[in-house]
Chain A
Amino acid sequence: MNDASRLMERVRARDAAAFETLYDEYHRLVYGLALRVLADPGAAEDVTQAVFLKIWDNPALFRGGNFGGWIARVTRNRALDVVRSRAVRVQEDVPESLPVDESLEETVIANLDGARVRDALERLPREQREAIELGFFGGATQEDIARETGIPLGTVKTRIRMGLRKLRNVLEGVVTV
């Protein structure tokens, strides 16, 4: 069990100090991600508050695995909800419920920080980076991306897949930057 999972155990027992430690550790990720999706500091703070209070109100929502990955997915979904509040929802969630091999995820995510990932993303071919960012931060489907950029759907799929693979390899240390 990692540190965040241990803290969440204490949050389940209504331990405010454990919650505060989690906030200190993860609020930059939550706020930064919400700000990136919404481009509105006030709305990003609202989403940050909503995400953390949801965790306090219902810690059982976290069912194990990598906490940073989980809270990022919850934040992204919540922020996109704000963007789409009067529009048709696209894929409802970045999938967060399928159990995955946690050791793989931990290998890549251990010691992750924004600066290192930004550096790795910057080194992706521009078209791969743009496809990934449009899909993740923009909430666009791969069909949307194909339509907006005038690129065949098959090419968009390849760019997303190749970009994610390359990013993973870079962060795992298989490929040095």
Chain B
Amino acid sequence: MSAHEELLDNVAAYALGALPPSDAAGVERHLRTCAECRREYESLRPAVTAVAYSAEACETAESGAAVASPLLKSRIMRKVRAEAAPRRLAPPAWPAYLAAAACLALATVTGLQNLSLNDRLNRERAQTTQQVKELADLAAPDSKRMPFHHGEVVMHGPRLYIAMHDMPMPPRGKVYQAWTLAKGAKRVAPSMTFMPKASGTTLVALPEAATTLAAVAISVEPEGGSLQPTSKPIALVAL
């Protein structure tokens, strides 16, 4: 069997997610250049999605597939509705973003004052308020800054940010994930996943209270994030 035939033979298992990582990487590389294998992959992938749909929960009792508790939606939506903060901002330059922070906040507020009152205004104001708060945190003289390659962790009171500049995009199918180590803890806990902007500065506001933490780390993880790190951290910052 030729190398190509062997790879073609593995495309179905690759689409299903049933290859060991080393074989999967080989098939993925091959798919980028081989039209025949790519056609095979494209024809099979919808079937894999269909397999996932076969597990879809139904409301009807006879389906045998239970539905999630309605409380689950309440929990999720409570958190979503309370979320006022955009996770990432784009200050105009790095490392001058601190100097520009107050100007940017002022410009945003001034712009809003010129808008007519409409349904969007309250939401935008809430977002702007959060942005102003975040920028104030970043610009505060008593904020604590801990640099790492490509950026710094900024801590102001209980609030914690990762500010990055020219962070490279992770490989396809991967994201960056933050990890936090609570004081006295022996293991890190998963925090947010995020993608850097293609250029400029990316700001991530971590939800954890900085005062309870001993360290923050960042690693590259599969999309969707991981419960435990699956790769060596690219940054580890003691607070």
Contact = CB atoms under 8 A, between A and B. Distances in A.
Contact of B46 (A14, A28, A89, A105): A105
A175 to B, nearest CB: 12
A171 B47 contact: yes
Interface in A103-127: 104-105, 107-109, 112-115, 117-118, 120-121
A4 interface: no
Contacts of A105: 42, 45-46, 49
15 contacts: A29-B55, A33-B55, A41-B66, A57-B192, A61-B195, A69-B48, A92-B173, A93-B223, A113-B56, A117-B54, A141-B19, A141-B20, A164-B15, A164-B44, A168-B46
Interface residues of B, number: 72
A32 B52 CA distance: 9
B25 to A, nearest CB: 9
B12 interface: yes
B28 interface: yes
Nearest to A57: B192
A112 B49 CA distance: 10
A54 B207 CA distance: 13
Interface of B: 9-21, 23-24, 28, 31-32, 41-59, 63, 65-69, 72-73, 75-77, 79-81, 83-84, 86-87, 123, 127, 172-173, 175, 192-195, 222-228, 230
Contacts, number: 264
Contact of A114 (B48, B58, B223): B58
A145 to B, nearest CB: 7
A7 to B, nearest CB: 13
A151 interface: no
Given A117-B53, A160-B18, 8 more contacts: A27-B68, A29-B55, A58-B195, A93-B224, A96-B173, A100-B41, A136-B17, A137-B55
A167 B46 CA distance: 9
Contact of A68 (B53, B83, B172): B53
Interface of A: 14, 16, 19-20, 23, 27-29, 31-33, 35-36, 41, 44-45, 48-54, 56-58, 60-61, 66, 68-69, 72-78, 81-82, 85, 89-98, 100-101, 104-105, 107-109, 112-115, 117-118, 120-121, 132-133, 135-137, 139-143, 145, 157, 160-161, 164-165, 167-168, 171
